[in-house]
Amino acid sequence: MAQAWQGKLEKLDNFRWKIPPSYKPGMKVPGLIYANESLLPGILNDKALEQVANVSFLPGIVRYSLAMPDIHWGYGFSIGGVAATDPDIGGVISPGGVGYDINCGVRLMRSDLTLDDLKPKLQILVNELFNNIPSGVGSSGDIKASAKEEEEIFLKGAGWAVKRGYGVKEDLEFTEDKGSIEGADPSIISKRAYERGKNQSGTLGSGNHFLEIQVIDEIYDEKKADAFGLFKGQVTMMIHSGSRGLGYQICDDYVKSMVSCLGKYSINVPDRQLACAPVNSPEGKAYLASMKCAANYAWVNRQCLMYLARNVFEKVFNKSWSSLGLKLVYDVAHNIAKMEKHKAGGKEKILCVHRKGATRAFPPCHPDLPDAYKEAGQPVIIPGDMGTVSYVLAGAIGSMEETFGSTCHGAGRRLSRSNAIKACAGRNIDKELFNKSGIIIRAKTRSTLAEEAPEAYKDVSEVVDAVHGAGLSTKVARMRPLGVIKG
């Protein structure tokens, strides 16, 4: 049972709440939580706020230990946690600030199809996607890579997939970091991590990973929606997956080995799950180089999943994916650490930004955005649960001023997986959602459906309203689910 927050929160405005450094001796910076009044009771009843305070102990942390409105308890960092550290003053990198599913992320595809076009073929489409896209725990796929090619995947990311014919160059333009981070080092990946990642490119996985067919039912900003190629009544598809067993093993390798760094570098943190090392230390550099391998692998995975999905659309509609307008809107990472340029102490510096269950949200005119989105800002993709709506937002200037270019990543869990299973005992979640909303769901196991039941999650509309109101990202479009594939 989660213990309710025992400390004091200072209300700064309707969307910002502060944990003062006086809450816990050793806090280097305040905690800053983004939430509205309706989300606050659930946040206060979670252990995550203690983790926000604990993260503020990290050496070199800059400005705040941040939490998005989808915050909930995680490993070391809360999920929904953001922290930036300055390597020039001993700033650290913490595997707990990235998480086990390295570069778990989501991509959104648009189409030229409307709901009327889709309706006659929806059930066939969902069944074909379920039958042709590997999903579930430990699933492996038909996209194979030799040992040499696995190294190329780690080094080149989604570019490897495009080179192999699993996409087009335009896909890379609309992927965060163009689907690859420089500095990966395959030579330091453990044999166990290699084995766990083998043959998992193009696999959905399990848990909260999904593929969802949607229709846009609301446009909030016509100009930005037009820039993203979105319109009301349009069919879209969202893919949510990550680095699978590879990323999990890399995280596991380092959360264990970095505990020794606490004593070696005289680092004092209140939770061993915050084990870390200076960014510029041998251990810190090794983790970053390994994490980048997993991040690049995850981008390959989502690129291959999109390739498989495009093939299914071609089969069902008897048209090429390009003639159906199945283009990538954007792909964003949720669990990652990046070396980025931000303001610290009144000047621009290269900081190590941890985003765990948080999305990059760069504003208009940012140099890292593709030319097509320079005026609109970065697309921010916020999935809800499988029974409710999802959103597209655009990065706003407030994110660069306050949160190191970050915003929320989803609805955020309200119930643990075990509590969700208990709450849904004896129920047929797929039948409930079909009878209530006409949503067609296909899943490998009933336990997955129980874990991912709508009541296990916060209200995504409240979460999105909080970051919109705080000026971190602005609402562009809303989508409702039509068909969902779960592992």
> Which residue range is the domain that position 51 belongs to?
10-94+103-486
Q: Is 4 part of a structural domain of the chain?
A: no
Mean pLDDT for the stretch of residues 437-458: 90
Q: Is 1 part of a structural domain of the chain?
A: no
| pLDDT-above-70 percentage for the chain | 98
Place of tokens 């080092």: 185
Mean pLDDT for the stretch of residues 462-466: 98
pLDDT band at 444 (very low <50, low <70, confident <90, very high): confident
Mean pLDDT for the stretch of residues 154-159: 96
Q: Is 404 part of a structural domain of the chain?
A: yes
Mean pLDDT for the stretch of residues 179-183: 97
Model confidence over 346-383: pLDDT tens digits? 899 999 999 999 999 999 999 999 999 999 999 999 99
Per-residue tokens: 229: 């190629």
Q: Is 425 part of a structural domain of the chain?
A: yes
Strand ranges inside 155-314, DSSP E: 210-219, 235-241, 277-278
- Is residue 1 predicted with pLDDT exceeding 50? no
Q: Is 5 part of a structural domain of the chain?
A: no
Higher-scoring residue by pLDDT: 110, 418:
110
Model confidence over 241-297: pLDDT tens digits? 999 999 999 999 999 899 999 999 999 999 999 999 999 999 999 999 999 999 999
Q: Is 377 part of a structural domain of the chain?
A: yes
Instruction: Domain count for the chain, please give it.
Output: 1
Instruction: For 345, list phi and psi in degrees, rounded to 5.
Output: 65, 30
Q: Is 88 part of a structural domain of the chain?
A: yes
Q: Is 3 part of a structural domain of the chain?
A: no
Distances in whole angstroms, Cα of residue 309 to Cα of each of 2, 105, 327, 449: 39, 17, 12, 22
Which region among 63-77, 130-144, 369-383 has the lowest average model confidence (pLDDT)? 130-144
pLDDT band at 3 (very low <50, low <70, confident <90, very high): low
- Is residue 461 predicted with pLDDT exceeding 50? yes
349, β-bridge pairs: 342
- Is residue 2 predicted with pLDDT exceeding 60? no
pTM: 0.95
Residues 96/275, Cβ–Cβ less than 8 Å: yes
pLDDT band at 139 (very low <50, low <70, confident <90, very high): low
Q: Residue 197, Cβ neighbours under 10 Å: how many? A: 26
Question: Mean pLDDT across the chain, nearest whole number?
Answer: 94
Per-residue tokens: 35: 């939430």
Per annotation, catalytic residue among 209, 342, 409, 468: 409
CATH number of domain containing 197:
3.90.1860.10
CA 226 to chain centre: 24
- Is residue 217 predicted with pLDDT exceeding 60? yes
Interatomic CA distance for residues 473 and 376, integer angstroms = 11
* SS3 call for 358: coil
Contacts of 342 (CB under 8 A, 6+ apart): 62, 84, 348, 349, 351, 353, 400, 404, 405
Place of tokens 């699933």: 139
pLDDT at res. 144: 77
Residue 334 is among the residues annotated as catalytic for this protein: no
pLDDT band at 425 (very low <50, low <70, confident <90, very high): confident
Model confidence over 306-348: pLDDT tens digits? 999 999 999 999 999 999 999 999 999 999 999 999 998 889 9
